[in-house]
Amino acid sequence: MFLIGHGISVRSDLPIPEWLFGWAAAMVLVVSFVALAVLWPEPRLQKPTWRPLPGGIGRVLASRPVEIICGAIGIFLLGLTIYAGLRGTQSTAANFAPIFIYVIFWLALVPLSVLFGDVFCAFNPWRAIGRGTAWVARVVSRSELPAPLEYPGWLGRWPAAVGIFAFATMELVASDGDKPDSLAVAAIAYSAVTFIGMALYGVERWIDRSEAFSVYFNLFSRLSAVETRDGEVGLRRPLSGLPRLESLPGTVALVAVMIGSVSFDGFTGKRPWNSISPDIAQVFQDRGLSPQHALEATFMLGLIGAVLFVAAFYWLGVLGAKSVGGGFSARRLAHEFVHTLVPIALAYVAAHYFTLLLFQGQAMAYLISDPLGKGDDIFGTANSQIDYTLIGANGTWYWQVAFVVAGHVAALMLAHDRALALYEDKRKAVRSQYWMLGVMVGFTSLALWLLSSANS
Partner 1 sequence: MSRNQRIGLIVAAALVAVVAFVIASPGGDDEGDKASETTPTTATSGTETTTETQTEATAPPKPEATKIDIRAGEVAGGPAEIQVKNGDTVVIVVSSDARDDIHLHGYDIEKPVEPGKAATFRVEANLEGEFEIESHVAEDAGRDPLIGTLVVEPK
Residues that bind partner 1 (CB under 8 A): 1-3, 10-14, 18, 22, 25-26, 29-30, 33-34, 36-38, 355, 385, 388-389, 392-394, 453-455
| Contact residues for 306 (Cβ-Cβ < 8 A; gap 6+) | 260, 261, 263, 264, 267
Minimum Å gap between C-beta 211 and partner 1 is 34
Minimum Å gap between C-beta 73 and partner 1 is 31
Q: What is the DSSP string of 138-167?
A: HHHHTSPPPPPPPPPGGGTTHHHHHHHHHH
Q: Quote the CA–CA distance of 455 and 453 in Å, as a whole number.
A: 6
Minimum Å gap between C-beta 104 and partner 1 is 20
Please, which residue, 12 or 323, has the CB nearer to partner 1?
A: 12
Please, which residue, 340 or 452, has the CB nearer to partner 1?
A: 452
Residue 207 and residue 198 in contact, taking contact as beta carbons nearer than 8 Å:
yes
To the nearest 10 degrees (0 to 180), the angle between helices 212-221 and 109-116 is 50
| Contact residues for 310 (Cβ-Cβ < 8 A; gap 6+) | 256, 259, 260, 263, 443
What number of other Cβ atoms are within 10 A of residue 215's Cβ? Answer: 22
Residue 296 and residue 175 in contact, taking contact as beta carbons nearer than 8 Å:
yes
Please, which residue, 263 or 360, has the CB nearer to partner 1?
A: 360
| Contact residues for 206 (Cβ-Cβ < 8 A; gap 6+) | 130, 151, 194, 197, 198, 200
Minimum Å gap between C-beta 21 and partner 1 is 9
Q: How far is CA 382 from the centre of its chain?
A: 30
Minimum Å gap between C-beta 290 and partner 1 is 12
Element at 227 (helix H, strand E) = strand 226-229
Minimum Å gap between C-beta 91 and partner 1 is 8
Minimum Å gap between C-beta 448 and partner 1 is 13
Please, which residue, 38 or 140, has the CB nearer to partner 1?
A: 38
Please, which residue, 138 or 271, has the CB nearer to partner 1?
A: 271
Please, which residue, 231 or 392, has the CB nearer to partner 1?
A: 392
Minimum Å gap between C-beta 26 and partner 1 is 5
Distances (CA, A) of 261 to 5, 52, 212, 252: 11, 37, 15, 14
Please, which residue, 23 or 135, has the CB nearer to partner 1?
A: 23
| Contact residues for 19 (Cβ-Cβ < 8 A; gap 6+) | none
Compute the residue count for the chain: 456
Please, which residue, 126 or 359, has the CB nearer to partner 1?
A: 359
Please, which residue, 92 or 124, has the CB nearer to partner 1?
A: 92
Residue 330 and residue 315 in contact, taking contact as beta carbons nearer than 8 Å:
yes
Rama region for 321: left / alpha / beta (φ>0; ψ in -120 to 50; rest): alpha
Q: Quote the CA–CA distance of 314 and 443 in Å, as a whole number.
A: 9
Minimum Å gap between C-beta 36 and partner 1 is 6
Q: Is 171 helix (H, G, I), strand (E, B) or coil?
A: helix
- Residue whose C-alpha is closest to residue 104's, from 345, 360, 366: 360
Minimum Å gap between C-beta 178 and partner 1 is 12
Minimum Å gap between C-beta 29 and partner 1 is 5
Please, which residue, 275 or 389, has the CB nearer to partner 1?
A: 389
Please, which residue, 45 or 93, has the CB nearer to partner 1?
A: 93
- Residue whose C-alpha is closest to residue 130's, from 65, 71, 189: 71
Q: Quote the CA–CA distance of 170 and 151 in Å, as a whole number.
A: 28
